[in-house]
Amino acid sequence: MINILANDGISESAIELLREKGFNVTNEHINQDSLAESINKNNYEVILVRSATKIRKELIDKCPSIKLIGRGGVGMDNIDVEYAIDKGIKVINTPKASSLSVAELVFAHLFGMVRSLYDSNRKMPMDGEKDFKKLKKSYSSGKELFGKTIGIIGFGRIGQEVARIAIALGMKVLAHDKTISEANITIKFYDDSKKTFTIETDPINTVLEQSDFITLHIPKIDDKPVISAKEIKLMKTGAGIINTSRGGLIDEDILMFSLEKKKLAYAALDVFSNEPTPSIHLLMQENISLTPHIGAATREAQERVGIELAEKIIKFYNKK
């Protein structure tokens, strides 16, 4: 029997699908320090992770039983992929399963930003009873998203989902991508009708200069931030920026400075440089809408992730 360890959780339907095909699935979290020992003791051939568990070359070297590593999600920065492949281990991920969930989180932050919901939700429980009128006044210059321009940096899977929602909301879309020059964005309506828009990408400076909101959907290649002082300087005064991609893509110190100096009006972060212990200064900043890396964490996305992983494992072992 083939033993599978799902170390960062997997959906019940995926477990059921795998068990039906005769796999033995353990859905529990083993601490990073004890992982190699547990893999060897239980002869796990397949290890499934999300972003929490790290599969580095030391672990790969210690665990010769591993034949397949599965990442539920997109980013593979927690896995030494090339090393694993060199050792003959198959590495799979589920790149498409969570795109819509991440894109929807962008708009959760955006709608919250322009009406100061993040701040109102912090202050209403404490001060709403005694200072209702004062709070009402302080949140009285909200904005609508309709008609505003969103600048999407990274026009891959998630960037294009963001464009789809933005167009449906009546926003103008600008996009920049290192390799993609245009994309067809199809919006499906409730009555099954469709409309397709072709968006051509622009140089990054155009996108930074002309957008009311910038949202990042690029991978993290190295430690150098993609958005730093030079890029923020190009942005409109009073613009907002959202990072649901990877911590460190925006220089966090420069971001705080830009908010304090009111160059930027707001920011939203789902990802942080020093996860899982982000800077307290950043967390205490006014004008930042915060979530703890939950972009892909919807039931629907996790369901799709689990099923996609299960199907790929079944295919790998060629079980009819």
Q: Which of 71, 109, 217, 304 binds ligand NAD (CB under 6 A)?
A: 217
**Least gap, CB of 115 to ligand NAD (angstroms):** 22
Q: Which residue of the set 157, 164, 176, 293 is catalytic?
A: 293
CA distance 291 to 5: 28
81 binds ligand NAD (CB under 6 A): no
226 binds ligand NAD (CB under 6 A): yes
> Of 35-43, 122-130, 150-158, 312-320, which segment contacts ligand NAD by CB under 6 A?
150-158
122 assigned to active site: no
Instruction: Give all strands (DSSP E) within 179-219, no chain letters.
Output: 182-188, 194-200, 213-216
**Least gap, CB of 97 to ligand NAD (angstroms):** 9
> Could you give the dihedral angle defined by the CA atoms of residues 289, 294, 296 and 300, in that order, rounded to the nearest 10 degrees?
-100
CA distance 234 to 308: 41
Contact criterion met (CB below 8 Å) for 216 and 250: yes
218 binds ligand NAD (CB under 6 A): yes
**Least gap, CB of 178 to ligand NAD (angstroms):** 4
160-179 binders of ligand NAD (CB under 6 A): 176-179
181 binds ligand NAD (CB under 6 A): no
99 binds ligand NAD (CB under 6 A): yes
> Of 10-18, 20-28, 128-136, 217-225, which segment contacts ligand NAD by CB under 6 A?
217-225
Report helix, strand or coil for 199: strand
293 assigned to active site: yes
Q: Which tokens is 237 given?
A: 């005064």
11-70 binders of ligand NAD (CB under 6 A): none
Q: What are phi and psi of 53, to 5 degrees?
A: -80, 135
CA distance 266 to 161: 22
> Of 98-106, 123-131, 132-140, 181-189, which segment contacts ligand NAD by CB under 6 A?
98-106
CA dist list (Å): 292 to 65, 146, 187, 272: 34, 27, 29, 8
Q: Which of 14, 55, 74, 113 binds ligand NAD (CB under 6 A)?
A: 74
> Of 39-47, 153-161, 189-197, 275-283, which segment contacts ligand NAD by CB under 6 A?
153-161
263-282 binders of ligand NAD (CB under 6 A): 270-271
Q: Which of 93, 244, 273, 287 binds ligand NAD (CB under 6 A)?
A: 244
Q: For the chain, how far is it from start to end, CA to CA, in angstroms?
A: 15
Q: What are phi and psi of 237, to 5 degrees?
A: -65, 130
- CA angle, corner 307, sides to 34 and 59, nearest 5? 20
Burial of 18 (0-12, 13-18, 19+ CB in 10 A): buried
**Least gap, CB of 2 to ligand NAD (angstroms):** 28
Closest by CA to 180, choosing from 203, 201, 209, is 201
292 binds ligand NAD (CB under 6 A): no
Q: Which residues are part of the catalytic machinery? A: 246, 275, 293
Interface ranges with ligand NAD (CB under 6 A): 73-75, 95, 98-99, 102, 153-159, 176-180, 217-219, 226, 244-246, 270-271, 293, 295-296
